[in-house]
Amino acid sequence: MLFATDLDGTLVPAGTTEIGEYTAQVLGEAEDAGHHVVFVTARPLRWMDELWKHVGGHGMAIVSNGAIIYDAHRFAVRTINGIEPSVGLDLVATIEDAAPGSMFAIECLDGIRLDPHFVDDNEIPPGSPRGSLTELWDTPAAKLLAKNQTMSDDAFRHLVRGTVGRSAVATWSGPELVEISAGGITKASALAGLCEDLGIAQEEVIAFGDMPNDLPLLKWAGTSYAVANADETVLAAADQRAPACSEEGVAQVIASLLR
């Protein structure tokens, strides 16, 4: 089996970097039994350092909503499917025209780069470049981040999805922020490619999630679980329900499957 799990709100409380003792034990047991455990998260690479010890002997993770597959044992990027600068800058201009006052940032392999107006509730690493994205965007970006504080979350999400069309994938994993990936890139597309490389069949994949950006993953997996605290759209789409993140529900399900 391959256990593919989202992090924030699914395996760990949102924003934390520590995995519960019981969850760590169960993930280790799954690896010891020869199963793969793959973290599949919206988090950028810079938020993952303290979690790599939990990926086990197989050592793979999917970050930035599928844009990056990472070898956690070699500390090396296995693949990146990012947004090219020319495509991304066109997206920024189109969204700005449709929603004046929008703010943008990009997640790249070397960290976050921000336009002059972008604000974030999360701590911005010191020295992160800030300026015109026309000047800063010179390499494929794992994600384009967009905010607009003059619009409701639902209105801005709907607008961005309609604006990017099929040229990119717009989704979200929390309030305010819309996360935009390259066209066709999702958690599911990345995991499908990784499973093909590993020789793991789709029906052997058991996936866990809680937010709309997990929907492609849950729909692709052979068996899908929504944690009890998940968004209503995720609860409706998943095959089964796991106990809440606060109850280490993913670990409970994996432990029962191992038995």
2-81+185-258 CATH pick, 3.30.590.20, 3.30.300.180, 3.90.1150.10, 3.40.50.1000: 3.40.50.1000
| pLDDT of res. 203 | 97
Is the per-residue pLDDT at 56 higher than 70? no
- Fold: same for 2-81+185-258 and 85-182: no
* Matching residue, tokens 């639902």: 154
pLDDT mean over 239-247: 97
pLDDT digits (tens, 9 = 90+) for 117-128: 999 877 788 999
Is the per-residue pLDDT at 195 higher than 80? yes
Domain spans of the chain? Answer: 2-81+185-258, 85-182
Give percent of the chain with pLDDT exceeding 70: 99
Spatial separation of the C-alpha atoms in residues 126 and 175, rounded to whole Å: 24
| pLDDT of res. 87 | 96
pLDDT mean over 4-14: 95
| pLDDT of res. 57 | 65
Residue 51: pLDDT band with limits 50, 70, 90 = confident
| pLDDT of res. 29 | 94
Spatial separation of the C-alpha atoms in residues 63 and 41, rounded to whole Å: 5
Helix, strand, coil percentages, rounded to 5, for the chain: 35, 25, 40
Is the per-residue pLDDT at 132 higher than 90? yes
pLDDT mean over 220-225: 98
Spatial separation of the C-alpha atoms in residues 202 and 79, rounded to whole Å: 20
Strand blocks (E) in the chain: 2-5, 36-40, 60-63, 68-71, 76-80, 103-108, 111-114, 143-147, 168-171, 178-182, 205-209, 223-227, 240-242
CATH number, span 85-182:
3.30.1240.10
pTM score: 0.92
What are the φ and ψ backbone dihedral angles of 21, each rounded to 5 degrees? -60, -45
Is the per-residue pLDDT at 58 higher than 80? no
Instruction: List all residues 6 or more positions away from 116 whose beta carbon is below 8 Å from its beta carbon.
Output: 130, 131, 132
Q: Helix, strand, or coil here: 181?
A: strand
pLDDT, averaged across the chain: 94
DSSP character at residue 12: B
Is the per-residue pLDDT at 59 higher than 80? no
Spatial separation of the C-alpha atoms in residues 135 and 161, rounded to whole Å: 25
Strand blocks (E) in 51-157: 60-63, 68-71, 76-80, 103-108, 111-114, 143-147
| pLDDT of res. 73 | 82
Q: Write out the two tokens for 205.
A: 């994949």
pLDDT digits (tens, 9 = 90+) for 152-189: 999 999 999 999 998 999 999 989 999 999 999 999 99
* Higher-scoring residue by pLDDT: 258, 57: 258
Among 3-17, 184-198, 214-228, 232-246, which stretch is predicted with the lowest mean pLDDT? Answer: 3-17
Among 13-17, 127-131, 177-181, 212-216, which stretch is predicted with the lowest mean pLDDT? Answer: 13-17
